[in-house]
């Protein structure tokens, strides 16, 4: 495919959108030349690109094998002279865009694709003054361009179908999701939806029903999460239950004519229109039952909430607090003469590999949680850690004995093998909580550390006494066969 | 707080919403009695609760210490007789709700809080026939109620402020985010916004601009992700750049009057109104600069995309494909007489603890990726794995020597210590890619497995030859000091 082999792009206009495009191209190994008459453009654009690289590094876990170069030029013709694709992202004024696009058209190679980032102007109008308008299309991205996959593609009256297809191939190669807009309308599809929400949001603030923060909260703690996952139609199909979309329309359609929003013009829900929606909704569901869609929805929402929870952002903050508040505190009878039952849980979707089995690192994660529970039982709790004291795991030796699958329950038993003034030596067993099968073992050494001093220190007396108590209570247990084990060389 | 100590709730109406409420209460250890006249209600509701438990187990990684009981009764008065809170979730018909609420009011204890799940009917109207209307409020949740945190609280003319406050405390305890609606309007805040989007979505389908799937895609691959994180106003504040909200309104406000959406009535952007928005936006930003907000936005979007990527859902599917396509393939010179440089990466936000250092399990995750790269270099690639062959890590012994922080780069060097017909013994070093410091080591044993046969098998000849080649090439390297190490007992 020709679209996949491009190596040179140009950005004309380098604000937030143009800079975002440049970052996406460079990350994908494509050299970018940039033109923007604003003397501040280069500084601002390089800031956008640096921010973008940080985020993309986080998303990919790595830098790309080769980053494309990013160069600036004062001359538009120089910027586009050998580009295979040109992104126009100048301010949203028809006459300005028409003039710039004509200049790009005149200076760019005949085969180059030219795309406008306009969020709503019609391509037929924009291509009016171009000599070769057939290779022009609208390529409307969403901020931040380097992270959000959507790009709307829309051709004008004189655009070539080949240009649309080539654009779609290039953007897929850049990690985007091209959406080809069927009919040329102002605002295309996405901005019509954005505007509708934004307009109603302004009314709510205008009428003093809510503040801007309350309006945002009403979205991000609720329906916004569903929108990120499924949009409106598929969400409502699920709400319709086993009878599907037609049922939902019958049940909730009439509410559309209730005087809720400020804007009352609604399409008439004729039988024919409802049929069309129901049929398109069937196509979208592609054979997935309501039960399957519900699970997909829930798995997706859990994934979103877990991600946000890790960052303590938006709904994730609420969830993180709730999970912390409801998790049972680690309590252990340090005088018990049996291994301590310190951590229990279920294998969740975040913990499994492509075969739906617990991954290697998640065995270690779970052992780590049991170790934390042991430390808490010894007195190294959150307050203690906040004050700078903690235990580090300095060494761990695991044996992986058996697989455990998604949704299955496990528990961790901890046997303390010994302790001195700053170390605890323990043997952990992960056991399937239903079958009782031994799944994995870990022999671990923990070292008491003063983070402020930056070195190992003796544990305080009270903690030391607890360490001795549990080590003493476990002294009569059999020494685990695997403790002190080494791997025998194969040659 | 009295609100935090409730132990009994009732649900009247047990469809998708009532069932969702029941699931949330039970998960939080609160006993629920349910009344719904539909003979199918109990079966359906138990299905909703089972689904909910599965999702909540995934989100919390555990079951709660105690689940509340869920019981059904044919009699409304019995359901509510000793409830501390009652959720009414019957169909959206004013007269029906008024009648049911009056019945609940008559049968419930005097101190019980009564909430209606209505998505848009006014509380003043709903409480009209109650004898003790002061303890009634609207408590509008979002489907699925057990996962989405938002609940809108709205009192009517006769509602008591105490009821709102008590409701807010109870819902916070349930892991929800209560939003108190300042003014009693139809549709409250959230459903006004939902309806605005839904209405425009219907027009787009009606006018054959897009199919229902395309409309959903236009949301979930783009702005939907921002909505899940920040809503509209904070997103636009960032788009306004360093000059903030006032600048955004000046730049993009006029577009509101362009004929994009079908519904044209827009609030007039007077200076006073723009001032109000700008001031409320400042409050919302709470001192965070645009740069800080941009990073928060990007971190949040990365977290959302990572979560979705794991589930291969929505925008995450696009991202997962792109990350896989751009990740350099594992290539290793098996004849090299130095350790193999098999994996490089950066420490990302998903990999760090609360101190922004790489967590223990993520050291193992990274070692695991290097091990996968080694296996691929030996010929156990994706095709080989799809056919059922693979290597399992059966044993691993790590030493954690030094911390590495967020955004810092690392690489993994792999020394093959030996191989036989079905095993590979290797020693891995994690090195800081800038300072060259040794961060951690892992001695690992891999076993060739036939997943179909469910047991260890000899590697095929070609793979065996590669295993021997690399073991032979590394035979002259120094045996790592830590290989074969054991932990010395402390007593």
Right CATH for B191-300 from 1.10.1040, 1.20.120, 1.10.3470, 3.40.250: 1.10.1040
How far apart, in whole angstroms, are the C-alpha atoms of residue B62 and residue A326?
A: 10
Residue in A382, A475, A464, A482 with CA at minimum distance from that of residue A428 = A482
Give the residue extent of every domain in chain B. Answer: 2-188, 191-300, 328-473
Closest residue, chain B, to A349 (C-alpha) = B58
User: Model confidence at A51, in pLDDT bands (50, 70, 90)?
Assistant: confident
Taking the model in full, what pTM does it have? Answer: 0.85
CB contact under 8 A, A149 and B315: yes
Contacts of A295 in chain B (CB under 8 A): 51, 54
Query: Is B418 a residue whose pLDDT tops 80?
Result: yes
Cis peptide before A318 (omega within 30 of 0): no
Please count the residues of chain B.
491
Query: Is A59 a residue whose pLDDT tops 80?
Result: yes
What are B164-191's pLDDT values in tens digits? 999 999 999 999 999 999 899 888 999 9
Q: B274 CB near a chain A CB, below 8 Å?
A: no
Q: What percent of chain A has pLDDT over 70?
A: 95
Mean pLDDT of A2-6: 61
SS3 labels along B225-260: HHHHHCCCHHHHHHHCHHHHHHHHHHHHHHHHHCCC
pLDDT computed for residue B257 by the predictor: 54
How far apart, in whole angstroms, are the C-alpha atoms of residue A369 and residue B95?
A: 53
What are B121-145's pLDDT values in tens digits? 999 999 999 999 999 999 999 999 9
What's B328-473's CATH class?
A: alpha beta
How far apart, in whole angstroms, are the C-alpha atoms of residue A87 and residue A12?
A: 6
What are A243-272's pLDDT values in tens digits? 778 777 777 666 655 545 545 566 777 888
Q: What percent of chain B has pLDDT over 70?
A: 95
Scanning B30-175, the segments in alpha helix (DSSP H) are 41-60, 76-80, 94-107, 123-126, 161-173
**B120-B125-B127-B129 Cα dihedral, nearest 10 degrees:** -140
Mean pLDDT of B352-370: 91
Residue in A231, A269, A235 with CA at minimum distance from that of residue A249 = A269
pLDDT computed for residue B1 by the predictor: 36
Residue in B99, B91, B86 with CA at minimum distance from that of residue B127 = B99
List, as ranges, residues 90-149 from A with C-beta within 8 Å of B.
Answer: 92, 120, 142-144, 147-149
* In contact, B422 and B448? CB cutoff 8 Å: yes
pLDDT computed for residue B3 by the predictor: 42
ipTM of the complex: 0.85
Q: What is the CATH number of domain B2-188?
A: 3.40.50.720
Question: Considering CB atoms only, which of B175, B326, B392 is closest to A319?
Answer: B175
* In contact, A351 and A362? CB cutoff 8 Å: yes
* In contact, B448 and B389? CB cutoff 8 Å: yes
| Nearest-CA distance B374 → chain A (Å) | 16
pLDDT computed for residue A372 by the predictor: 92
Residues 6+ apart with CB under 8 A from A357: A403, A404, A405, A406
What radius of gyration, in Å, describes the C-alpha atoms of chain B? 30
Q: A485 CB near a chain B CB, below 8 Å?
A: yes
Q: A253 CB near a chain B CB, below 8 Å?
A: no
What are A165-210's pLDDT values in tens digits? 999 999 999 999 999 998 998 889 999 899 889 888 888 888 889 9
């Amino acid at each position: 495919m020709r679209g996949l082999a491009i190596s040179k792009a140009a950005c004309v206009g380098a604000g937030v959108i143009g800079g975002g495009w440049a970052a996406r191209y460079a990350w994908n190994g494509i050299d970018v030349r940039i033109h923007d008459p604003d003397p501040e453009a280069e500084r601002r654009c390089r800031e956008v690109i640096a921010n973008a690289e940080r985020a993309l590094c986080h998303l990919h876990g790595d830098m790309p094998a080769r980053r494309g170069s990013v160069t600036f030029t004062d001359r538009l013709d120089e910027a586009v002279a050998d580009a295979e694709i040109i992104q126009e992202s100048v301010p949203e004024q028809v006459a300005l865009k028409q003039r710039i696009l004509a200049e790009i058209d005149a200076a760019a190679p005949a085969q180059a694709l030219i795309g406008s980032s306009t969020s709503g102007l019609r391509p037929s109008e924009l291509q009016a003054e171009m000599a070769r308008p057939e290779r022009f299309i609208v390529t409307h991205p969403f901020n931040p361009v380097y992270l959000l996959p959507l790009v709307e593609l829309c051709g004008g009256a004189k655009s070539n179908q080949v240009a649309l297809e080539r654009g779609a191939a290039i953007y897929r190669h850049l990690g985007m999701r091209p959406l080809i807009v069927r009919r040329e309308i102002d605002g295309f599809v996405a901005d019509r939806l954005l505007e509708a929400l934004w307009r109603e949001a302004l009314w709510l603030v205008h009428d003093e029903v809510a503040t801007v923060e309350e309006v945002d909260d009403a979205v991000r703690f609720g329906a916004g999460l569903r929108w990120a996952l499924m949009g409106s139609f598929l969400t409502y199909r699920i709400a319709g239950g086993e009878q599907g979309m037609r049922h939902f329309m019958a049940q909730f359609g009439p509410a559309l004519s209730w005087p809720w929003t400020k804007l009352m013009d609604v399409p008439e829900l004729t039988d024919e229109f409802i049929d069309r929606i129901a049929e398109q909704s069937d196509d979208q569901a592609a054979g997935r039952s309501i039960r399957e869609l519900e699970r997909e929805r829930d798995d997706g929402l859990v994934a979103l909430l877990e991600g946000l929870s890790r960052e303590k952002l938006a709904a994730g903050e609420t969830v993180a607090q709730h999970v912390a508040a409801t998790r049972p505190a680690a309590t252990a009878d340090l005088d018990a003469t049996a291994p301590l039952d310190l951590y229990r849980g279920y294998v969740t979707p975040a913990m499994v590999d492509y075969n739906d089995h617990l991954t290697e690192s998640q065995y270690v994660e779970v052992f780590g949680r049991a170790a934390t529970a042991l430390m808490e039982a010894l007195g190294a709790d959150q307050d203690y850690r906040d004050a700078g004291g903690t235990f580090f795991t300095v060494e761990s030796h695991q044996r992986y004995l058996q697989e455990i699958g998604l949704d299955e329950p496990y528990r961790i038993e901890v046997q303390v093998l010994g302790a001195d003034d700053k170390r605890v030596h323990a043997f952990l067993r992960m056991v399937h909580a239903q079958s009782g099968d031994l799944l994995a073992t870990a022999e671990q050494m923990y070292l008491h550390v003063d983070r402020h001093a930056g070195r190992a220190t003796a544990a305080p007396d009270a903690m030391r006494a607890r360490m001795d108590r549990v080590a003493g209570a476990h002294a009569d247990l059999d020494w685990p066969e695997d403790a002190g084990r080494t791997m025998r060389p194969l040659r």
